[in-house]
Amino acid sequence: MVLIRTDLGHNYVKKMRKILTLGILIFFVSCFENESVEKNSFIETQNQFKMDVLLLGTFHFANFNPENNGDVLEVNVPDVLTDDNQKELEKITELISEFKPDKIFLEYPYSKQNQLDSAYSKFEVIDYSQTKRTEIIQLGFRVAKRLKHKKVYAMDYRTDFPYDSLINQMEKAKQFHLIEKDSIELDRIEKYENKMFASNKLLSEILFYNNDQENRKLDINWYLSVANQGGTKDNFVGAYLASEWYRRNLYMYSIIQKTIEKNDKKIMILAGASHIGMFKDYIDKNPEWKTTELKDIMQK
């Protein structure tokens, strides 16, 4: 029979526990470090290959003719067919061409892509001052033709915009403070933009204004702070209008996402400035995409 000293047995167990605990600790630290390295490596890879999106918000060039003005605002937009504005458009086109977007998306009805394809394929022009006053042709087609793109992409998706009903429901709910706030804001924008359009500002400077981040915030804020609370407590025409605006832009963004192909590195989105403000918000939350502004490529 072999006798084992009790004190020796306890010391041995304690020693083994310390070794085992140390081993487990080293194992978990190693796993954490490996996971951290892998995560950082993934983030670096994501940052390396982000889709670069040129956002170009415009006023609607066709609104030079008041009969074509479908906007709530009544502003006297400049004539993009003048010599000075044509020179500016050529300069803008040249710099966008250097950016080299793989695809160009336009605010044109998605359901009419075939019509857009036909119009683009037949479009051959030397003098753009003799064509229509529309950003689709004056910027979209002009850039695409310069880059020899085979097609341009429609992305617009129309939804309801019951502005008149919103004002009527505000009156019914006696929300005169909201009506006044809406009126003051529209009046402020109209006066400022009419003054700017009547000035000697270059077309590029006007487009910088259209794409100013503060203006985008003010524009989106109207839907959340004015429209959304319009109507009586049991009437949600304001929230409906705001949600329809969000839905329209989400659908447009969805169309763009679904059209992107594996080899696309850069794209251009050309639309009314209000839409571009929404897209900026969406893309800022997309870790695989980043944005470039017109100002970025024109002030390098």
pLDDT tens profile 83-125: 999 999 999 999 999 999 999 999 999 999 999 999 999 999 8
pTM of this prediction exceeds 0.75: yes
Higher pLDDT, 196 or 143: 143
Q: Is the pLDDT at 11 greater than 80, yes or no?
A: no
Q: Is the dihedral of CA 278, 279, 283, 284 positive or negative?
A: negative
- Structure token digits, residue 283: 């893309």
Rounded CA-CA distance 152/135 in Å is 13
What 3-state class would DSSP assign to 289?
A: strand
User: Per-residue pLDDT averaged across 55-77, rounded?
Assistant: 76
Beta bridge partners of residue 267, listed in sequence order: 53, 103
Per mean pLDDT, which of 37-46, 134-143, 196-205 is the most reliable?
134-143
Report whether 77 contacts 197 (CB < 8 A): yes
User: Per-residue pLDDT averaged across 18-39, rounded?
Assistant: 57
Q: Which residues contact 154 (CB under 8 A, 6 or more apart)?
A: 105, 106, 108, 109, 110, 112, 113, 116
Q: Is the pLDDT at 42 greater than 80, yes or no?
A: no
Confidence of residue 132 (pLDDT cuts 50, 70, 90): very high
233: which DSSP letter?
Answer: T
pLDDT of residue 48: 65
Higher pLDDT, 18 or 61: 61
Q: In Å, what is the CA distance from 154 to each residue of 30, 185, 249, 253, 256?
A: 51, 32, 13, 11, 9
Per mean pLDDT, which of 187-191, 195-199, 224-228 is the most reliable?
224-228
Per-position DSSP letters for 52-94, written without gaps between them: EEEEEEE--GGGGSGGG--SSS------TTSHHHHHHHHHHHH
